[in-house]
Homo-oligomer: A and B are copies of this chain.
């Protein structure tokens, strides 16, 4: 059984992301502490690169010896991967309705959410990824979650969107939960002492 031996800092201003991550980490006996730093984000197609630079920059700013940063994106096949790593900006400007307008009269609605979690200490940075496959629905459904959750139906679910699930349920399928699970698996061996 894992025993909480240390707190790991997670640099994010997004309360929704933090809430998802903290629940995953607790199942591994790891406590996450939110560090509300402005995220330093580069423009890149590769989420791992964005998360890595964000974690390295956060480590410089935060008074901690190690830190986590996460980057995620929503990739729609029929739109050549758009909005991809710029999902947050696209959500703020076009919103869910803008993305649905781009998909009007488009039958091919395959999409995926992806997440990259980067852990950085003074020695190195290591990245963990999670992906969830699904489809974009025709109309937004649900009020939970955030971002494009109301228009994404994960393949492994029962036909509901992410926004129709509470956090624990979404975490059973989500890209972010998967990436954080991989991190926690690694961290519980590497960073914590098991009894």
Q: Which residue of B lies closest to A57 (CB)?
A: B42
From B80, B94, B98, contact of A93 by CB (8 A): B80
The minimal Cβ–Cβ distance linking A85 to chain B, given in whole angstroms, is 8
The minimal Cβ–Cβ distance linking A186 to chain B, given in whole angstroms, is 27
On chain B, the residues within 8 Å of A92 by CB distance are 80
Please count how many residues in chain A sit with their CB below 8 Å of the partner chain's CB atoms. 20
On chain B, the residues within 8 Å of A84 by CB distance are 89, 93
Please tell me if A101 contacts chain B, counting CB pairs below 8 Å. yes
Flag if B86 contacts A43 (CB, 8 Å): yes
Bound form: Cα–Cα A102–B89 in Å: 16
From B79, B82, B86, B98, contact of A79 by CB (8 A): B98
Please tell me if A40 contacts chain B, counting CB pairs below 8 Å. yes
Q: Which residue of B lies closest to A80 (CB)?
A: B93
Flag if A98 contacts B102 (CB, 8 Å): yes
On chain B, the residues within 8 Å of A86 by CB distance are 43, 86, 89
Within A41-98, which residues are at the interface with B (CB < 8 Å)?
A: 41-43, 45, 79-82, 84, 86, 89-90, 92-94, 98
The minimal Cβ–Cβ distance linking A55 to chain B, given in whole angstroms, is 15
Give 7 A-B contacts (CB < 8 Å), ordered by A residue: A40-B42, A42-B43, A45-B89, A79-B98, A80-B92, A84-B89, A102-B102
